[in-house]
Structure 1
Amino acid sequence: MLLKGLVLSLISSTAWCVLFHVPVRTIAGCGLAGMIGWMVYSLLTWLGADVLVSTLASATVVSLLSQVLSILLRVPSTNFSVAGIIPLVPGSLAYRSMLAFVNNEYVNGISLATQTLMVAGAIAFGLIFGISALTIWKGARHAYKRAQ
């Protein structure tokens, strides 16, 4: 099951890149970011972590990986971070919440919509946390070198 998820996350991230005309030399990195993000998410949920914690950790890993890939390939990190979070987007939760509202199941719809918003918030916070951690590390490294 893990291998199937890895292959599908690689395909979905790569397809997003092709659909939105990402530079060809970055497509492999974008697919790798999506696959690694999904692998972190799958492993953490398999180990028993909550969905929100797994999503936060995988979005942070995708953010850090996208920063590294952007330095290596000299392109904006947005190419990698957006493609990397595509497999993490809670589309089925959003669909089920809207379906519950259409079927007049308002309590279930509100519950599912709240879960959807919390997962989306975990993705956003993970991306911001990864960027902030790398920026702080760069600043601390620069200050340490200057102090010597």
Structure 2
Amino acid sequence: MPSNRGYGGRSGRRLKNEINVVPYIDVMLVLLVIFMVTAPMITPGLINLPSVGQAAEVPATPIEVQIAEDGSLAVRRREPGAEYEKTASQDLISKVQSMLTADTPVVIAADGKVPYESVMKIMDELRSNGVTRLGLLVNQQANAGPLNK
């Protein structure tokens, strides 16, 4: 009777190069059962929802600084019907500070042809004189600009 010796005299059993996943499945099923049993035992935390009286205040109406194409400045509070007050660049800070409260934001609306340096100069002046909430006002248009083509 011939023997089943192959591969130079080794026994006929070959090593498996596969991972046995049965023990991992057993552990996962035990963990699943544990979580299913303990989940109903966890009590939900209490949440204190704010009432109408505790709601946050309406944000302050921003102050708008408008920079025209020719560099002229105008200031107004962004309220319906508010008119722009033209101002010189040296009077801009005093005009804005007269309208400013602790949490009033200031937005800058510059014409598209105004140089970026002029806008940054006004932003720096406002920031150095105590304006902490400062932003830019922009028009959002669909498919505007060379990047969206």
TM normalised by structure 1 equals 0.29
Higher helix share: 1
Greater relative contact order (CA < 8 Å, ≥ 6 in sequence): 1
Higher strand share: 2
